[in-house]
Every structure is written in structure tokens, then in C-alpha cells.
Amino acid sequence: MKALRFIIAGTIFGIIMSKSEAISWYRIQEMFRFQSFHMYGIIGVAVLLGAAITYLIKKFRLKDIHGNPIILEDKKMQWRKYLFGGIIFGLGWALTGACPGPIFVNLGYGYLTFLVVIAGALLGTLTYGIIKDKIPH
Amino acid sequence: MIDAISDSIRQPWPWYVSGFMIALVLAFMLFTGKTFGFSSNLRTLCTLCGAGRKWAFFNFNWKDQAWNLLFLLGSILGGFITSHFLENGQALKLASSTVQDIQKIGINFTGEMQPGQLFGPEALLSVKGILILITGGFLVGFGSRYAGGCTSGHAITGLSNLQKPSLIAVAGFFIGGLIMTHLLLPLIF
């Protein structure tokens, strides 16, 4: 039953991504060309509400459903990894029009060619894991 | 009443509905004791393929991430449900300036979710088409692990938690995206 909870959350996520057209290469092009507010609106509202949720969790030390305190860990400050990794990610995001979530949502939507994108993404992650100690962080 | 609701679900969702729903997903994950970060799944999938036997980065118990893989499974299902039951056949409304700009680089706007040229079966008929799909995926997979997260982990979760590293990562996402869109895409297509 516990498993079902995460499958349902993922399903809702997949439906949100599809119905808001955030999985569309066209919409990502529109975003990187600053020709529509759509994607900025989606991310902006999610972040504003997310910030309110995060603030409330911290302020009232809210607990999760298991009774454990919800801990939001601070990320370690290493600017190179975030900047360089971010730029590489952005290049791929604009080329495929999809970040990791939408890559899989697209597959379910019926674009089977995303299997090739997934293969590439796994290869990329694998490569990072192999060479990670040799690149600046 | 039910008809009206099902009609409005089938319409494309406005940005504020989607943004609100994404925040709900984030809250759900936090209140179930988990986090909202999709790209970790790529690492777990590598581990499932046996990469942990050779490389320490993938040597961890994948079962600790099973909940996230279930989320991934659900996201595929969500895409399937939408295209089969929640679409009303309405064409995507793309900004006319974008339609013109991508036409200049040879991509036609058809009103579908994705350009068939890039993601239809015909994309697999040319070496270039396949290379675009693999390279794009590679950059996403490499970059997200290098940066320690993707749009969900950094842009949504990280920015919500006012994390400076996430702000740097998101700035990076945009630098890379702008370079690809404005400088590289015209050369590629």
C-alpha cells in the first residue's frame, strides 16, 4: 500500500507535466526565447508556494506522517559543480526540450523515441560517476 | 456537473494551476518523509544495471530509493493516462514569435505536443536524429548528476528552501539553455 502512494504521486506529477505542456519541446523553446510567460509562471508559482510550505515546516517544526521531524538539509556550497553541472544540464534541456521528469513522462505519453534519450541520460549519469573525481567540484 | 469538470480537465492547464499542483506534489513528498528530486533515479537505474560492482558512486542499496523509482513509474503512467484519456485534441497554442523562430531553423510547428521531426519515428531514420536524442539525453544525465539535481531538486525544492547553490545551478541551467537555443541549435539543424 505504501508503494501505491508514490505511484499515485508520480502519476499526478506526470499528468500535471503533460496537461501544462511542460513536457513539450516547443514550450521549452518558448521559454528560452522569452516569448511566453507560461513556463515562468509554472515554476514561479511552484517556488513561491514551495517557499511558503518550507517556511512553515521550519517555523513550526512540522513532522511527517511517520512522526519524524521534516529536515530540509542545506546544500554544500561548491560553486563550480553547480555552475558547470548546471550549464551542461541546460544545454541538454534546450536540445531535448525535456528535463529528467518529462523525459519519462514523454515516453508514457507515447513518444517512444524518448527511450533513446533515456539511454543517453543513463550513459551521461554513468560517465559522471566514473570520472567525477577528475573534474572540478 | 461531472461533464463540466471532465471538460475543464481536458483543456490545457493554465500555469497557475500547474504551479499550484507541483507545490502540492512537493508538500506530499516532504510530509511522507521523502524529497522531490527526479534525477536521482538515473543514478539508481545505473545501480540496478550493475554499475555498483565497478564504480563506487553507484555502490549503494537501490532499495533505499525504491520509492523514487515508483514515482518515476507513476510519471510514465501519468503521461499515458493524459494522452489516452485527458486530451481534447486541441492544438498546442504556441507564441507566434516562437513558431517563426523555430521555422527559421527548420522545425515546423504542427500543433502537436512534440515536433515529429525530432521525436517521431522518422527521427530514428537518420544518424543525425539519433545523435541529437542521445547527446541531449547524455547532457541532461551528466549535467544533473554533476550539479547534484535537476529542475525538481534545484529549481523547485532548492529555491523553495532558499539555497544559494540551487540558485547557481538554476543560473547554470539558463546559461546552458540560452547557449543551446540561440547559438548551437541554428548550427545543429
Q: Give the separation between CA B98 and CA A26, rounded to whole angstroms.
A: 8
Is A2's pLDDT higher than 90? no
What is the three-class DSSP state of A10? helix
Q: Which of B14, B29, B66 sits opposite A9 (nearest CB)?
A: B29
User: pTM of the predicted model, to two decimals?
Assistant: 0.97
Phi, psi for residue A101 in degrees, rounded to 5:
-60, -60
Confidence of residue A127 (pLDDT cuts 50, 70, 90): very high
Q: Are the Cβ atoms of A18 and B83 closer than 8 angstroms?
A: yes
Mean pLDDT for the stretch of residues B162-169: 97
Q: Are the Cβ atoms of A10 and B75 closer than 8 angstroms?
A: yes
Q: Are the Cβ atoms of B140 and A103 closer than 8 angstroms?
A: yes
Provide the residue ranges of all domains of chain B, joining segments of one domain with +. 1-87
Local structure of residue B49 (DSSP, 8 states): T
The CB-side HSE value for A33 (13 A sphere, CA atoms) comes to 22
pLDDT in tens, A71-106: 998 999 899 999 999 999 999 999 999 999 999 999
Q: Are the Cβ atoms of A101 and B151 closer than 8 angstroms?
A: yes
Confidence of residue A43 (pLDDT cuts 50, 70, 90): very high
Kindly list the residues from chain A whose CB atom is less than 8 angstroms away from the CB atom of residue B5: none
Mean pLDDT for the stretch of residues B157-170: 97
pLDDT in tens, B55-81: 999 999 999 999 999 999 999 999 999
Q: With beta carbons less than 8 A apart as the criterion, state whether A16 and B13 touch.
A: yes
Which pLDDT score, from 0 to 100, does residue B5 have? 84
Number of residue pairs across A and B with CB atoms under 8 Å? 487
Please, which residues have CB within 8 angstroms of residue B150's CB and are 6 or more apart in sequence?
Answer: A89, A99, A100, A101, B37, B38, B39, B140, B144
**B45/chain A closest Cα distance in angstroms:** 8
Which pLDDT score, from 0 to 100, does residue B1 have? 76
User: Dmax over Cα atoms in chain B, in whole Å?
Assistant: 58
| Complex ipTM | 0.97
Amino acid at A106: N
pLDDT in tens, B107-144: 999 999 999 999 999 999 999 999 999 999 999 999 99
Kindly report the number of other CB atoms within 10 A of residue A45's CB atom.
20
Kindly list the residues from chain B whose CB atom is less than 8 angstroms away from the CB atom of residue A59: none
Which pLDDT score, from 0 to 100, does residue A53 have? 97
Which pLDDT score, from 0 to 100, does residue B167 have? 97
Number of residues that make up chain B: 189
pLDDT in tens, B13-29: 999 999 999 999 999 99
Q: Please, what sign has the CA dihedral across residues B97, B102, B105, B106?
A: negative
Q: Provide the chain B residues 25-84 that lie in CB contact (below 8 A) with chain A.
A: 25-34, 38-39, 41-43, 45-46, 49, 51, 55, 57-58, 66-68, 70-83
